[in-house]
Amino acid sequence: MFRRLRSTPIPGTRDEYTGVDFNLGFHVRSYTLDLAYRVGPNHLSGTAVLQLDNWKSLKAMTLDLAGSLKVSKVTAAGSGGFTPRVARFRQSDNKLRLTFAEEIPVDSEFQLQIRYAGSPRPLRTAWGEIGWEELENGALVASQPNGAPSWFPCDDTPDEKARYEISVSADNPYVVIANGELVGRQAAGSRTTWHYRADFPMASYLATVQVGEYQQLDLSGEGQVPVRAWAPPELKDLVRDEFADQSAMLELYSRLFGPYPFPAYTVVVTEDELEIPLEAQGLSIFGSNHAEGDHAWERLIAHELSHQWFGNSLGLAQWNDIWLNEGFACYAEWLWFEHSADRPAADSAREFYDELAEKPEDLLLGDPGPEDMFDDRVYKRGALTVHALRCLLGDAAFFAVLRRYVAAGRHAVVEPRDLKREVLAEANAQSVPQEVVEKLWDDWLFQRELPEFPEPRR
C-alpha cells in the first residue's frame, strides 16, 4: 500500500487550473498498458489494466479519457473474496463514467480492465493542443498539464502518482520509446512489441510514448548513469555534438541536488521541428531544430534534465505551485553556466531581474492562475526566488538545504511548505530571524511588486 502523497486536502471537486473535475474516492496504484499502434492511419488500440484502492465506498466512479478513444469493454476484479462488477459504463465530456452493480466497500483493492480503440489526437486546452500528437513519420506524447487522457484512461491529476508498465506494438522499422527501462522486445511478423517498466511513481502527465525511425546513441561518457539518445540516422552526428555535455550536466546536478533519481536518462530527437523541448519522466523530447550544431539550445538541454529532480521525482501537489518545477529548472540553467562557463548565477539573476523589471508586475508567483502558469515570468521570478534563498543562507547552507529538500521529497510530491521548512531550519541554525525568512517568502511569492534584487546577506 502506498502512503498518501499530498499533505493538503483536495481543494474542492474541480482542478481550478485545468478546469477538469477530480476523480474522487480512490487511488490508482499502477497502470499496465498493452497497446497496438499503426502509424499510417494513426490508430491506437489496446487494454489498460488499473490497480486501485478506494478511500471511500464507491457505487460509481470516473476516469479521464478522451472521447476520440471509444471504450468497448470494462471488467472488474477484486481481492479478499470481494468481486466488484461493472453494471454499466458511458463516456461523456472526456470522462469514462462507471457504475458498479454493488457498492465497493471502503479500503478495498480492486482492478479495472478497460478495452478501447480509436484515433488518438491532442486535447484542446487553454494552452493549445496537448497529448498524443502525430508527426510526419511517427508520434509523440507531451501531456503537461492534462493531456494524458488523449491516449489512456487515467486519473489525470499531478499528485496521483502510480507505477507504469507500457507495452506498444508497432510496424517495423519503427522504434517505440516509453518511460522506464526496456525489459523486452519481441518481433512477430512485420511488427515488434516494445515492453517498458517504470518502477518509480509517476504522474500521468509525465507518461509518454515516442514512435519513430530512430537509432540509439550512447552519451554516457565517463558518467555512472547511462545517458542515451534516440535520433533519426541522418541527425546522429549533430545530436552527438549538441548533447555532448549531457552526462556532465547530470554529474553536476547529482552533486548539487543529490543522486539522479532514475536508472537512466534518455533524450529523443524527432525528425520534426518542435516549438519547445518537452519533459517526461526519465526522458526529454527535442525537435530536429534543437540539434543544428550551433549549441544555441544548451540552456534548455540543461533545463529539461533538471526536471528529473524538480517535477518528476519531486512532483507537484497542485498546479498552483508550478514555480517549484520551473523556478528550480530555470535556476539549474544558471548553475550549469556557473560551472561550465564560469558565469556566476548572480550575473544571470541580474540579467533576468532587469528584464522582469520592464514587464508588468501583475503576477503572483505563488498562485499565478491558469492563464499565466507557463508565463516566462513564473520561470524567471521563480529562479530569482531560489537565488534569493541562496543569498540569504550562503552557498554551503543553501546547497545543503537543497539536498535535504530533494531527499525528503524523492519520488513523492512536494508543496512550498516542504521547502520553507528546510529553509527555516537552516536559518534558525544561523540565527537568522524567522521574520526575515517570512518577509522574503511573502515578497517573492505573494506580492506582485518585484522585490529588490537579492544580495548576499552581510
* Residues recognised as catalytic: 304, 379
Burial 424-437 (b: 16+ CB within 10 A, else e): bebbeeeebeeeeb
Which residues are CB-contacts of 326 (< 8 A; sequence separation ≥ 6)? 378, 379, 382
DSSP state letters, 187-211? EETTEEEEEEEEEEEE-GGG--EEE
Residue from 79, 83, 80 nearest 101 by CA: 83
Q: Is 307 annotated as a binding residue?
A: yes
Helix or strand run (H / E) with residue 251:
helix 246-257
The Cα 33–Cα 69 span in angstroms is: 14
Residue given cell 471509444 in the structure block: 70
Cβ contacts of 370-375, under 8 Å, gap ≥ 24: 370/16, 370/17, 370/18, 370/19, 370/126, 370/319, 371/126, 373/17, 373/145, 373/319, 373/322, 374/127, 374/322
The Cα 224–Cα 169 span in angstroms is: 31
Q: Is 303 annotated as a binding residue?
A: yes
Cell of 284: 526529454
φ/ψ region of 224 (left if φ > 0, alpha if ψ in -120 to 50, else beta) reads: alpha
Q: Is 326 annotated as a binding residue?
A: yes
Q: Cβ distance 132 to 85 under 8 Å? A: no
Cell of 2: 502506498
Binding site for Zn(2+), by residue number, is: 303, 307, 326
Binding site, by residue number, is: 303, 307, 326
